[in-house]
Amino acid sequence: MLTDKPIAEKPESRPSEEKIVSTSAAEIEADPGRELYDQGLQHYLKGELEKAMETFSRLVTLFPHSALVPKALFRYNDALARQENSGNSRNLHHLIDNYLQVVRKYSRDSDAPWALLQVGRAYESMDFDYEAEGVYQALVHQYPRSRFAAAAWYETARINYSLKRYRKALHAYEQLVKEYPERGFSIEAEFYQAHCLYHLGDFTKALSRYQSALKRTPEYLQADPQTIYLLGSCYLSLKKYQQARDYLLLMRNLFPENDFTNLALAKVGDSLLTQGKFAEGVAFLAMVIKEYPETDGEILARLAMARLGVENPGLAGRPELRPYAEFLDSQQAYALIADNYPDNPLSNVARLRLGRLFYKQRDYAGARQFFDQLILPQVDHDIRSVALAEMRKVIYDELREDYQQKKYAAMVALQKRYGNNFLPRPTGMYPFFWLAEAMRHQGLYAGALKLYGSLQGFKPSQEELLAITWGMASCHLFLGQVKDAAGLLQPLAMDNLENSWWLKMMLLKAEIMIREGENQAALKLSVEIRSRLPARQITERVSLMSMMGEAYSNVGEIDAAIASYREAVSLANAQPQMVDVAHRVTLTSALARILFVRGDYQASLARFRQASLLMNRHENLAELLYWQSLCHARLGQKKELDKIINTLKSRYKNSDWTSLAISNLKDYQWKTGSRNLQ
């Protein structure tokens, strides 16, 4: 607030008569600028601000060495402050600069603390509360004996209380009572000390402070609804239900329209639920909803009954509570609050509880929907902190469930959306390991490698270290980094590994050998692997047979390659739950290509068709159709070939496979010398 308020409104407002400390009365009377100063002051007191500012400026210009120059400058800024305030200006930076410039130059003048008080109020006018508090604190430390120091402590306390910085506010109110007991702030400061203690959760001490203050000033209670409300709430927190009820119900009689009244009545109803008086409490809360619609009291009443419904699921079935079933349906009640009062801070409590309900039901997407709304910066810090913790639990459990169900795409999507905010500080190597596995399965090998590498810092166990090593080697292999993959396996003491891990590592080693051109060595190792591989390990058997098929193909043993691929395809199709669709398509396509190379076009065509049936509409289907077109061409089946070409043109017009199919068709027609392929 600025200085245009009536002088009587502030206990520390400056008086109209100036008291010059640094200059004697005789010197003032003899001062050449005295007449101008008196004229300016009269203009100021009459509200003639422009004339006042002009007069004070003339004094400074005409009599720069006058002892009244500091006073004239301070009064000039006072007039400017009133002018800014009356014009409803919110840009007061120039006024603040003017005040501070004079304070720095005349810091020992008796008006310097007054000027600092005005600077603080100017900052408050612009909603710069922290800057205002800093100025008030500078005043009390630089001018502790000033008559304005008490006002500065009061403003400091008030600002901190409004910002919910209750410990700082408590200290400021205590300073007021201790250092300035006669300055007019003591009564309010005593009660606000109790308010701060209540908000800090020290209910016993708060109650003692309330009782002490009321003993000295009992009439204060009749004039301040906040004090009644907080005193009743204090009794409630101490489980002194009768005293709490007496004070909270007093609000209805003394202040029926006050904003605290609906809150007080909602607390009365909630306290009845806490005491186990369900029927009475629910009826009371329903009355609050009816009599105080669209208030915080209504929302608190709904929250209390919804909580009761969660804690006592069968309660709505009682005959006396059936009329209130809609209030006890927690999910419906919370959703109503969130939908009807989206901008009310209390609705965030409803969203938090809805998120927890969905989490309890293992509806992780539903839980995330509500927690997502609570992690925004503008949400109350306490609610936001809880929501962040809850969100981490939800994502952790969702990742674990998706990992168990092999929903790798869903896991990668969670990592992309929430990874930066919720997964950088896990308590162990999980869920990083799950995410690395998911990214590897999704073909995001570089990202998976990075995640696998970060797991070293969590000091993994021997079992976990083997899983990490295998995962990293697999990624290197898929990225064509064969030497890096081999380098990871080289330090391992293979003979000391448990059989399941020996098999995994040897399968990987055999694949590395094939990539390095050591096909015969890979086949020799594969025979040893096959002898130690249990029949129940379908996935490993499929991998082994497909690798053997590739190795046999590389050394020109086509029949052996076909036999190996056939066994791999047969195993995969017999256990589809063990081998995903993409892998089965790859195996079937590999077998079909080997058959094509041998010249068995009819069998090759059948396998390519089998692979196509496993796929949806996708670019890879164009590749399979291309191979089918080659088979039809070799078989001289023009009608079927035209059908395939037309399908490629209509569905995959821009695909390279379509262009290749058309090109190969023309090439084959030219080679055969017949457009009918005969």
Residue 7, domain CATH = 1.25.40.10
For residue 483, tell me if it sits in a domain: no
Residues 619-648 pLDDT 10s: 578 889 999 999 998 888 888 888 998 989
90-104, 302-316, 328-342: which has the minimum mean pLDDT?
A: 90-104
Q: Are 258 and 227 in contact (CB under 8 A)?
A: no
Q: Identify the residue with better confidence: 587 or 667.
A: 587
The percent of residues in the chain predicted with pLDDT above 90, rounded, is 69
- Confidence band of 334 (pLDDT split at 50, 70, 90): very high
Euclidean distance between CA atoms 421 and 87, whole angstroms: 46
Residue 51 pLDDT > 60: yes
Residue 610 pLDDT > 80: yes
Q: Are 330 and 357 in contact (CB under 8 A)?
A: yes
CA dihedral defined by 552, 554, 556, 561, rounded to 10 degrees? 30
For residue 179, tell me if it sits in a domain: yes
Query: Within 13 Å and on the Cβ side, how many CA atoms surround 585?
Result: 14
274-288, 426-440, 475-489: which has the minimum mean pLDDT?
A: 426-440
- Confidence band of 673 (pLDDT split at 50, 70, 90): low
Question: For helices 482-489 and 462-478, what crossing angle results, to 10°?
Answer: 160
Q: Are 479 and 450 in contact (CB under 8 A)?
A: no
Residues 556-577 pLDDT 10s: 999 999 999 999 999 999 988 8
Angle at 609 between CA 606 and CA 611, to 5 degrees: 115
Q: Are 56 and 72 in contact (CB under 8 A)?
A: yes
Predicted local confidence at residue 620, as pLDDT: 72
Tokens 């998976």, residue located: 448
Residues 249-263 pLDDT 10s: 999 999 999 999 999
Predicted local confidence at residue 619, as pLDDT: 56
Predicted local confidence at residue 278, as pLDDT: 95
Integer CA distances (angstroms), 292 to 174, 308, 335, in order: 37, 21, 20
Euclidean distance between CA atoms 334 and 299, whole angstroms: 9
Predicted local confidence at residue 14, as pLDDT: 44
Classify each residue of 610-627 as buried b or exposed e, where b means 16 or more C-beta atoms within 10 Å of its C-beta: bbbebeeeeebbbbbbbb
User: How many other CB atoms are there within 10 angstroms of residue 486's CB atom?
Assistant: 18
Predicted local confidence at residue 583, as pLDDT: 87
Range of the domain at 65: 1-184
For residue 69, tell me if it sits in a domain: yes
- Confidence band of 41 (pLDDT split at 50, 70, 90): very high
For residue 469, tell me if it sits in a domain: no
Question: For helices 656-672 and 638-651, what crossing angle results, to 10°?
Answer: 150
Which one-letter amino acid corresponds to residue 21? V
Predicted local confidence at residue 182, as pLDDT: 78
Predicted local confidence at residue 17, as pLDDT: 34
Residue 15 pLDDT > 90: no
DSSP 345: T
Q: What is the mean pLDDT of residues 48-59?
A: 93
Q: Identify the residue with better confidence: 329 or 84.
A: 329
Euclidean distance between CA atoms 17 and 25, whole angstroms: 13
For residue 230, tell me if it sits in a domain: no
Question: For helices 34-45 and 69-86, what crossing angle results, to 10°?
Answer: 20
State residue 509 phi and psi, 5-degree precision.
Answer: -65, -40
Q: Number of helices (H) and strands (E) in the chain: give both, helices first.
A: 36, 0
Euclidean distance between CA atoms 233 and 247, whole angstroms: 9
* Model pTM score: 0.70
Residue 25 pLDDT > 60: no
Predicted local confidence at residue 3, as pLDDT: 33
CB contact set of 165 (below 8 Å; sequence gap of 6+): none
Q: Are 432 and 455 in contact (CB under 8 A)?
A: yes
Predicted local confidence at residue 8, as pLDDT: 31
Q: What is the mean pLDDT of residues 103-108?
A: 93
Domain count, the chain: 1
- Confidence band of 12 (pLDDT split at 50, 70, 90): very low
- Confidence band of 305 (pLDDT split at 50, 70, 90): very high
Residue 533 pLDDT > 80: yes
Angle at 631 between CA 629 and CA 635, to 5 degrees: 115
Residues 179-232 pLDDT 10s: 888 777 889 999 999 999 999 999 999 999 999 999 999 999 889 999 999 999
For residue 30, tell me if it sits in a domain: yes
Residue 601 pLDDT > 80: yes
**CA-closest candidate to residue 443, choices 620, 653, 567:** 620
Furthest CA-CA distance within the chain: 131
For the purposes of burial, counting CB atoms within 10 Å of the CB of 388, is it exposed (0-12), middle (13-18) or buried (19 or more)?
middle
For residue 106, tell me if it sits in a domain: yes
- Confidence band of 93 (pLDDT split at 50, 70, 90): confident
Mean pLDDT rounded to a whole number for the chain: 89
